[in-house]
């Protein structure tokens, strides 16, 4: 918890994702750090989107294997890159510590329904899952909805924040180079992802219940990797205390610090609500949406701390 | 038949538009496959509801240089019904994935149609005469009392209204665990292949209870699955050769004489990746959605998300020609991934003499490339913008910067209006393009 008015210092190198392949070099410049944290954010959102896609399977008809394989390969690719960066380990450790009991990282599992075993077991459709991830990871997406148990979601988000450096974090153009799309697309993606994750959670949860009544082991393997398997854990009393200290004036300082001077006074939840009210747009979307999300992250970091 | 004309000289006119005018699309009416027979006289369409509609070409005034062809409904039948796989608790869609005509041997027409799991051989035959004057039966079919028969007569065939009957002759079932994406008739006219995501089977047209597995890419451990089969086709002349394409952008050519199981390819066609264009979506957009041999058998064409490539069968290292279909989408890949459009499977086709190729795009646009004259055009299939007999205007998409008049900007494209299926008459300058639920037939004015 930081005293009011203090900008959080740039965190240790241990928490910073190092641009891949540059292990032995001197600490990158502030601009490079900014770029890499933006890139991480984009990469993260692509990962989230991909996981949602893998999870949302058609319950009546078999899912398209080609599509599932391509999405799973994308997830693997991201995971490999994040592992090289060191962000993968940080994220999984942080999530494990913050939320659910540390389940083992489920090994790569493909639960294609067409396997003979599954057929004999009379299994319902399972999505093609590649790398299993802890449930806690998925619950991060719930944050974006702005609904539900906020204490839980806040704590989850806080563990993701070490990736982002608040001091050097500036809302700016992505301009990432060949790997990523233009700014507008990212903002749009994240918006829609919020809406998707809402549906995803409810659909997935229903599916989870259905499947867990079957062979519970395989059901858990499939959906356990993506679902919030456990009910929300009791809120951390320390975090509740954290929230009780927050008041409106603190937000004002944030907005000043981040240069969002013209923005109306609003808290993080207001921000979430205003974002979720944006309908899905055509391919063009406003850059302000994306910068709003940057602000949200920034605010979260300051409030919750590292 | 006017070959040698440059694509640039062609003037396409909307000849017919078939289908409902509603903006509301009935799911079952969505066209899922399109195929001309070998003469071009018949055009078969399959839809999501499992129906096949066959159109027949009727030519008015063929003597005149500018004659008009009209395609009218010849036969409609229900090919596949929805099924339920009780073991897996899954519905098997009745959607027709592919139709392939068998070369004609007698008066009847035969075609293969397939959904995700079952292939059927259909016989389409005409009946325009019927026997009349039986001795023992009345005209309505009731048997006559033999004691009332006092004289004998020979039954005669009398003309009747043309009736086109479609009857299922063979059902090739239970051979595919995964979803069938391709069917291809061999040039020997006796065998055909069917391909699903992981396996390719070889069948004899007469034998339904057995098929040979000739390609199997299923890994022992499904966790290791990273690549699937996306399309397969027999060589048009060499009955021992076929190709199959994959989700990683490779095409493998196999020779069935080499071994019974063709897991080892005899040639592999793959273009090295362009490192400057690398992104998280590189693999997805390299996935090949269609592969088609040229009529000559010298080349093959592949369609991936953004381009069409022509390969010389003697050169595996890279295609001989690459045509950009909608390069302006490259900067939109993330959004297209999000709305799943990036997984759309576009098909492609050759014209009769292999000088031109065609493929579909979004916003009901389709693209034609003239290989000889290095010329290409974007056209639109729409009723509003096309009057019959009027030459349709080329369209242009503005990728960025200032939009000129008549250009459409990328952000205004309707990604729900996609043209996945196109077909080119094997002999004439007639093309057919399927939008979601409508069929557009265009003819070159100078046909």
- B332 at interface of A, judged by CB pairs closer than 8 A: yes
Q: Residue B133 forms beta bridges with which residues?
A: none
Instruction: Express each pLDDT in B221-276 by its tens digit.
Output: 998 999 999 999 999 999 999 999 999 999 999 999 998 888 889 999 999 998 88
Say how far apart CA A200 and CA B424 lie, in whole Å: 42
Distance in angstroms (rounded) separating the CA atoms of residues A134 and A127: 16
B338 at interface of A, judged by CB pairs closer than 8 A: yes
pTM higher than 0.90? no
Specify the length of chain B in residues: 447
Flag if B223 and A107 touch (Cβ within 8 Å). Answer: yes
**Which of B87, B178, B277 is the closest to A178 by Cβ?**
B277
Mean pLDDT (whole number) for B276-292? 95
DSSP annotation of B17: E
Q: What are phi and psi of A49, to 5 degrees?
A: -60, -45
Whether A104 is covered by a domain: the verdict is no
DSSP state letter for A61: B
Interface test with A, best of B334, B342, B345, B400 (most A CBs within 10 A): B334
**What is the distance between the alpha carbons of residues B339 and A176, in angstroms, rounded to a whole number?**
22
- Does A124 sit within 8 Å of B89, measured CB to CB? yes
> A87: part of which helix (H) or strand (E)?
helix A87-98
DSSP letters for B272-312? PP-GGG--TTHHHHHS--EEEE-TTSSEEEEE-SSEEEEEE
Which of A52 and B303 is assigned the larger pLDDT?
B303
Residue A115 has φ and ψ, to the nearest 5°, of -65, 150
- Mean pLDDT in residue range A268-286: 40
Domain count, chain A: 1
Q: Would you tell me how many other CB atoms lie within 10 Å of the CB of residue A249?
A: 11
On the CB side of A207, CA atoms within 13 Å amount to 28
Q: Are B38 and B91 in contact (CB under 8 A)?
A: no
Cβ atoms of B232 and B254 closer than 8 Å: no
Cα of B177 to nearest chain A Cα, Å: 6
Contact of A203 with A141, CB cutoff 8 Å: no
Residues A217, A116: Cα–Cα separation, whole Å = 17
Q: Which of B422, B356, B393, B296 is nearest to B5 (CA)?
A: B356
Distance separating alpha carbons of residues B376 and B392, to the nearest angstrom? 15
> Could you tell me the sign of the dihedral formed by the alpha carbons of A188, A297, A254, A172, in that order?
negative
Q: Cβ distance B297 to B234 under 8 Å?
A: no
B12-444: CATH, from 2.130.10.10, 3.40.50.970, 3.30.70.20, 3.40.50.720:
2.130.10.10
Mean pLDDT of all residues in B53-59: 92
Given CB atoms, is A118 within the 8 Å cutoff of chain B? yes
pLDDT for residue A137: 34
Please determine, for residue A205, whether its predicted confidence score (pLDDT) is greater than 50.
Answer: no
- Domain assignment present for residue A135? The answer is no
Which residues, listed in sequence order, are joined to residue B36 by a DSSP beta bridge?
A: B43
CA B79, distance to chain mean position in Å, is 16
Mean pLDDT within A43-58: 85
- CB-based contact B90 A284, cutoff 8 Å: no
- Domain for residue A273, yes or no? no
Does a structural domain hold residue A209? no
Number of A to B CB contacts under 8 A, please give it: 119
Contacts of B280 in chain A (CB under 8 A): 43, 46, 74, 77-78, 179
Say whether residue B416 is in contact with chain A using an 8 A CB cutoff. no
Which tokens go with B162? 């043309």
Torsion sign (Cα): A264, A268, A273, A279: positive
pLDDT digits (tens, 9 = 90+) for A75-105: 999 999 988 878 788 777 877 777 654 343 3
Q: Match 């900067």 to its residue by tokens.
A: B331
Which of A78-82, A255-259, B28-32, B285-289 shows the lowest mean pLDDT across its residues? A255-259
Give the model's pLDDT for residue A7.
52
Torsion of CA B325, B331, B335, B336, to 10 degrees: 20
DSSP, res B152: -
pLDDT the model gives residue B6: 79
Beta-strand pair B439-444/B430-434:
antiparallel
Element at A194 (helix H, strand E): helix A183-213
Give A144 or B285, the one with higher predicted confidence.
B285
Which stretches of A144-253 are assigned E, i.e. beta strand? none
Task: Give CA–CA dist A178/B280, Å, rounded.
Answer: 10
Q: Find out whether B366 and B359 touch, Cβ atoms under 8 Å.
A: yes
pLDDT score for A294: 65
Q: Which helix (H) or strand (E) holds B215?
A: strand B207-216
Integer Cα distance of B228 and A132 in angstroms: 21
Name the strands in the sheet holding B321-324, side by side, starting at the edge strand that comes first in the sequence: B290-293, B299-303, B307-312, B321-324
**Chain A residues touching B222 at Cβ < 8 A:** 110, 112, 115
Per the CB < 8 Å rule, is B343 touching A78? no
Which tokens hold the place of A63? 């899912």
Token pair in block for residue A211: 């499947």
Mean pLDDT computed over A251-277: 41
Give the ipTM: 0.91
Is A29 inside any structural domain? no
Q: What percent of chain B has pLDDT over 70?
A: 97
The pLDDT, as a whole number, for residue B50 is 97
Measured distance CA(B416)–CA(B397) in Å, rounded: 17
Phi, psi of A25 (to 5 degrees): -90, 160
Mean pLDDT value across chain B: 92
Q: Tell me whether A63 touches chain B (CB under 8 Å).
A: no
Q: Which of B225, B412, B413 sits opposite A69 (nearest CB)?
A: B225
User: Does some domain include residue A15?
Assistant: no
Express each pLDDT in B367-386 by its tens digit.
999 999 989 999 999 988 77
| Domain membership flag for residue A286 | no
Q: Please, are residues B280 and B220 in contact by the beta-carbon 8 Å criterion?
A: no
């Amino acid at each position: 918890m930081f005293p009011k008015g203090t900008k959080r210092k740039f965190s240790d190198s241990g928490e910073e994702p190092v641009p891949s392949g540059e292990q032995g070099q001197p600490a990158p410049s502030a601009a490079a750090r900014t770029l890499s944290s933006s890139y991480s954010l984009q990469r993260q959102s692509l990962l989230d989107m991909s996981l949602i896609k893998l999870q949302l399977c058609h319950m009546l008809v078999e899912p398209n294997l080609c599509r599932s394989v391509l999405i799973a390969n994308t997830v693997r690719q991201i995971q490999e890159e994040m592992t090289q960066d060191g962000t993968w380990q940080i994220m999984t450790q942080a999530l494990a510590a913050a939320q659910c009991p540390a389940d083992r990282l489920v090994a790569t599992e493909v639960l294609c329904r067409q396997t003979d075993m599954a057929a004999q077991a009379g299994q319902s459709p399972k999505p093609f899952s590649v790398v299993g991830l802890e449930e806690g990871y998925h619950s991060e997406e719930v944050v974006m909805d702005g609904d539900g148990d906020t204490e839980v979601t806040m704590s989850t988000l806080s563990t993701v924040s070490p990736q982002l450096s608040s001091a050097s974090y500036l809302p700016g153009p992505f301009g990432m180079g060949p790997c990523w799309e233009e700014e507008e697309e990212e903002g749009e993606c994240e918006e829609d992802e919020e809406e998707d994750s809402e549906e995803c959670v409810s659909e997935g949860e229903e599916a989870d219940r259905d499947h867990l009544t079957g062979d519970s082991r395989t059901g858990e393997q499939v959906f356990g990797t993506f679902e919030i398997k456990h009910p929300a854990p009791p809120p951390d009393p320390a975090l509740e205390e954290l929230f009780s200290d927050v008041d409106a004036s603190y937000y004002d300082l944030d907005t000043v610090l981040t240069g969002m001077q013209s923005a109306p006074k609003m808290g993080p939840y207001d921000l979430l609500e205003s974002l979720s009210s944006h309908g899905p747009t055509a391919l063009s979307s406003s850059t302000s949406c994306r910068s709003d999300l940057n602000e949200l992250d920034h605010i979260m970091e300051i409030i919750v701390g590292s | 038949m006017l070959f040698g004309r440059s694509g640039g000289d062609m003037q396409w006119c909307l000849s017919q538009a078939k289908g409902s005018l509603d903006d509301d699309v009935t799911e079952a009416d969505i066209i899922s496959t399109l195929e001309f027979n070998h003469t071009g006289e018949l055009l078969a369409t399959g839809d999501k509801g499992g129906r096949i509609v066959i159109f027949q070409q009727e030519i008015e005034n063929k003597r005149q240089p500018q004659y008009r062809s009209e395609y009218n409904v010849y036969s409609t039948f229900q090919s596949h019904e929805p099924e339920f796989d009780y073991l897996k608790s899954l519905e098997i869609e009745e959607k027709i994935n592919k139709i392939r005509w068998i070369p004609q041997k007698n008066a009847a027409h035969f075609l293969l149609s397939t959904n995700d799991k079952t292939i059927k051989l259909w016989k389409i035959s005409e009946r325009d005469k019927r026997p009349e004057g039986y001795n023992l039966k009345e005209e309505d079919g009731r048997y006559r009392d033999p004691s009332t028969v006092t004289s004998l007569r020979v039954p005669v065939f009398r003309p009747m209204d043309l009736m086109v009957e479609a009857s299922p002759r063979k059902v090739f079932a239970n051979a595919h665990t995964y979803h069938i994406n391709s069917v291809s008739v061999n040039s020997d006219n006796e065998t055909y292949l069917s391909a699903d995501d992981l396996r390719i089977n070889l069948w004899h047209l007469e034998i339904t209870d057995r098929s040979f597995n000739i390609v199997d890419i299923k890994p022992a451990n499904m966790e290791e699955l990273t690549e699937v089969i996306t399309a397969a086709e027999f060589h048009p002349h060499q009955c021992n050769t076929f190709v199959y394409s994959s989700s990683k952008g490779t095409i493998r050519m196999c020779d069935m004489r080499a071994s019974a199981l063709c897991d080892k390819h005899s040639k592999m066609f793959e273009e090295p990746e362009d490192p400057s264009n690398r992104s998280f979506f590189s693999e997805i957009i390299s996935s090949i959605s269609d592969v088609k041999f040229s009529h000559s058998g010298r080349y093959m064409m592949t369609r991936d998300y953004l381009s069409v490539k022509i390969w010389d069968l003697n050169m595996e290292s890279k295609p001989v020609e690459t045509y950009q279909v909608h390069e302006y989408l490259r900067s939109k890949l993330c959004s297209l991934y999000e709305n799943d459009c990036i997984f759309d499977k576009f098909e492609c086709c050759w014209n009769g003499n292999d000088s031109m190729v065609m493929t579909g795009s979004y916003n009901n646009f389709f693209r034609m490339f003239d290989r000889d004259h290095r010329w290409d055009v974007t056209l639109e299939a729409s009723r509003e913008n096309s009057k019959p007999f009027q030459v349709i205007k080329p369209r242009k998409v503005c990728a960025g910067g200032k939009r000129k008049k008549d250009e459409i900007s990328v952000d205004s494209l309707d990604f729900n209006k996609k043209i996945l299926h196109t077909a080119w008459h094997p002999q004439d300058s007639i093309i057919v393009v399927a939008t979601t639920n409508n069929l557009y037939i265009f003819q070159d004015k100078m046909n």
